[in-house]
Amino acid sequence: MDVIRTAGLTVLVALTVGATVARPVAQVGSPAQLPRYPLASTALLIVDPYNDFLSEGGKAWPATKPTATTQGLLEHMQQALSAARAANLKVFIVPHRRYRPGDWEGARFLPYRQTLQGIQKSQLFAFGSWGGEFRAEFAPKPGDVVASEHWISSGFANTDLDMQLKQHGIDHVVLMGMRANTCIESTLREGVELGYHATVLSDAVAAFNPTELKASLEVNYPIYAHALLTTERFTTALAESK
């Protein structure tokens, strides 16, 4: 799915969405030009690339796998990352809080309608565990920036992400990773509130079920994102921005 917002006009591409994944099939109106990215001030944000989300054997992989498979999630994330590195974009990893003993004890309000017992039992992304490590393909390389961990959904809330982006002169952000309707969407919304130009890669995100994914791709992303592009269209945009 491609959505490009220019001069106050939102152009929607791929109006038909299957049961599990959006596919670019049609374009309404005159062809939309791809964004021109200022490469020196554009960053790729990889959100929550943990083994628990993205790897066979991960705690959340059974929930992630169906939409990750239909989306071609891992392949598209790798494609986007390779294109970003080839274009010398700054790469940021935007990680979720890794579970540590004592987390959320005494908290008045728990996230995602969870119980403390459930959080302690699942220990998602547990610190020091394989599941709490970044999947190897998306581990940071020298020069990449790993933001401080967000506790719930937004990569900006109670973290240093905004400061790190500003310190590196970034004003355009491109989001991919997990989870489409929580951390990707919350980071997108807050990034726009903070004044960033925001792109989401529509086939480089996944969710826990098709309904969550469809709601993000069809309803919420087109409202907030300045551009909603397939990975292929994004790589083309980068090439044309050089």
Q: What tens digit of pLDDT does each residue of 107-166 get?
A: 888 888 878 888 887 888 989 999 999 999 999 999 999 999 999 999 999 999 999 999
Q: Classify residue 113: in a domain, yes or no.
A: no
CATH assignment at residue 183: 3.40.50.850
Nearest to 93 by CA among 38, 54, 124, 129: 54
Instruction: Dig out the tokens for 53 from the structure.
Output: 């989300």
What is the C-alpha separation between 135 and 51, in angstroms, rounded? Answer: 5
Would 129 be classed as within a structural domain? yes
What pTM, to 2 d.p., does this model score?
0.86
**What tens digit of pLDDT does each residue of 187-201 get?**
999 999 999 999 999
Q: Could you give the angle at which helices 61-71 and 73-86 cross, rounded to 10 degrees?
A: 70
Number of compact structural domains in the chain: 1
Residue 20 pLDDT more than 70?
no
Answer whether residue 46 is part of any domain.
yes
pLDDT at 118: 80
pLDDT of residue 8: 43
Measure the CA–CA gap between 138 and 141, rounded to whole angstroms: 9
Q: Is residue 227 part of a domain?
A: yes
Q: Is residue 105 part of a domain?
A: no
Q: What percent of the chain has pLDDT over 90?
A: 75
Q: What 3-state class would DSSP assign to 202? A: strand
Q: Token match 């790190």: residue?
A: 164
Residue 119, both tokens: 């959080």
CA distance 97 to 179: 14
Residue 44 lies in a domain: yes
56 assigned to some structural domain = yes
Tell me the DSSP string of 60-111: THHHHHHHHHHHTHHHHHHHHHHHHHHTT-EEEEEPBPPP-TTTTTT-SS-G
Other C-beta atoms closer than 10 Å to the C-beta of 187 total 28
Range of the domain at 137: 2-27+37-100+121-241
Assess if residue 32 is contained within a domain: no
